[in-house]
Amino acid sequence: MQVWSLFWLVTAHFTVVVWAESDTGSRRVQHTGNRPDIGGTRVPGGAAAAPLDITLVGVPVDCGSAYRGCLMGPDALRVAGLAESLSELGHRVSDAGNLAPDLPGPREHTNPAIHDLGPSAGWVSALSDAAFAASADGPPIFLGGDHLMSAGTVSGVARRAGKRGRPLFVLWLDAHTDFHDLNSTRSGNLHGTPVAYFTGRAGFEAFPPMPAPVAEERVAMLGIRSVDAEEAARIGGTAIAVTDMRAIDEVGIARPLRAFLDRVAAEDGDLHVSFDVDFLDPDIAPAVGTTVPGGATFREAHLVMEMLHDSGRVTSLDIAELNPFLDDRGRTARLVVDLVASLFGKRVMDRPTRAA
Ligand SMILES: [Mn+2]
């Protein structure tokens, strides 16, 4: 614990900048499609992707969950080499350090189950502003933190997409749908609410207003396998595309993802990816508070990340629910770093692409 506290102190008060010269072009895959730079400026068709300006934003929030420990997530991802693995791919990586919540004061709610409402609302407002700012010049990666973080990050990147004049899509990689509101949650754990919040549902009067709600039909969920009956009924009545593990077992993970990415491309959209570590099977990723068996395999997860990279559409990323206190010698953090590297261009094997 003392070591973690020390890391937290160091990273919370200093901004570390990692800058790598782009000498790794040969390792990058050549894309032949009209591939947009994910920072919002376009790369001409046929060109390889330019190095990106990636900002890491630490989000040490764990008041949204029942188990403590996610506040150590940002530093575990740093220690596991996230910045280094991205800069090795030729990207310019800056670490903005850890964010702190705004302090809105105590908030009351008629649902007695809810805990930490004031700090949660403070995180959402701080994150909304930080996500808007960090997405100006390139893709931010938000290092959580429990999944409450996404209420704030999606709020901020939705404003950014609106400013660019593009529709925002959200890909939700998770065992859970996180679709409760403040009235419906029985656990009172607010990390179960962000999707209902950012799609503009009622029941969030205690949170800052969602400035630009994401249209339900622009949200897709992959990996779902733990939904309570009430939540299932709520989400069944929406236009959100929910792909559960049974569907993945039947048709594979690529088909529903490709269908969604085609829709993002058809509308020329920005894409926020919210990656809950419990999307992965707990056998390969044990460091989560609520383990649910039957998650995505190593191969499925890498395929998802490589397809996201190939799409050239991802404009921001959350890494949520990593709880280093529950990890096995950093194994989950290292896997997550590897998967994020896949999303940003790392390949097991280069696949030469013919010139168009
Ligand atoms: Mn989640």
What is the three-class DSSP state of 27? helix
Least confident among 22-31, 171-180, 218-227: 22-31
Q: What is the Å distance from ligand 1's center to 271 Cα? A: 18
Q: What is the Å distance from ligand 1's center to 292 Cα? A: 12
pLDDT given at position 17: 39
Residue 72 lies in a domain: yes
Q: What is the Å distance from ligand 1's center to 310 Cα? A: 25
d(CA 54, CA 56): 7
Residues 6 or more apart in contact with residue 54 via CB below 8 angstroms: 86, 91, 92, 93, 94, 138, 139, 140, 141, 344
Q: Is 129 annotated as a binding residue?
A: no
Residue 356 lies in a domain: no
Residue 189 lies in a domain: yes
Give yes or no for a contact between 131 and 59, defined as CB atoms under 8 angstroms apart. no
Residue 165 lies in a domain: yes
Rg (C-alpha) for the chain, rounded Å, is 19
Domain at 59, CATH number: 3.40.800.10
pLDDT confidence band for 351 (50 / 70 / 90):
low
Q: What is the Å distance from ligand 1's center to 295 Cα? A: 13
**Preceding omega of 237 cis (within 30 degrees of 0):** no
Residue 349 lies in a domain: no
Residue 24 has pLDDT above 70, yes or no: no
Residue 214 lies in a domain: yes
Least confident among 13-17, 46-50, 102-106, 344-348: 13-17
Q: Which residues are catalytic?
A: 147, 174, 176, 178, 191, 276, 278, 321
State percent of the chain over pLDDT 90: 80
Kindly report, residue by residue over 173-221, the tens digit of the pLDDT.
Answer: 999 999 999 999 999 999 999 999 999 999 999 999 999 999 999 999 9
Query: Would you give the end-to-end CA distance of the chain in angstroms?
Result: 54
**How big is the chain, counted in residues?**
356
Q: Is 174 annotated as a binding residue?
A: yes
Residue 56 lies in a domain: yes
Q: Which residue in this structure is represented by tokens 């997405």?
A: 135
d(CA 280, CA 298): 8
Overall domain count for the chain: 1
Q: Is 176 annotated as a binding residue?
A: yes
Entry pTM:
0.86
Q: Is 147 annotated as a binding residue?
A: yes
Q: What is the Å distance from ligand 1's center to 221 Cα? A: 11
pLDDT confidence band for 8 (50 / 70 / 90):
very low
What is the three-class DSSP state of 260? helix
Q: Which domain holds residue 246?
A: 2-343
Kindly report, residue by residue over 321-343, the tens digit of the pLDDT.
Answer: 999 999 999 999 999 999 999 99
Q: What is the Å distance from ligand 1's center to 148 Cα? A: 8
Burial 297-327 (b: 16+ CB within 10 A, else e): eeebbbbbbbbbbebbbbbbbbbbbbbbbbb
pLDDT given at position 43: 30
Q: Residues lining ligand 1 (ion), CB within 5 A? A: 147, 174, 176, 178, 276
pLDDT given at position 106: 76
pLDDT given at position 225: 97
Residue 348 lies in a domain: no
Kindly report, residue by residue over 52-100, the tens digit of the pLDDT.
Answer: 999 999 999 999 999 899 999 999 999 999 999 999 999 999 999 999 9
Continuous H helices in the chain: 2-13, 73-79, 82-88, 117-134, 149-164, 194-198, 229-236, 245-251, 254-266, 298-311, 331-343
CA 221 from chain centre, in angstroms, equals 12
| DSSP secondary structure code for residue 26 in this structure | G
Residue type, 123: W
In the sheet with 53-59, reading across from the earlier edge strand, the strands are 17-18, 92-98, 53-59, 140-144, 314-320, 270-276, 168-173, 219-224, 241-244
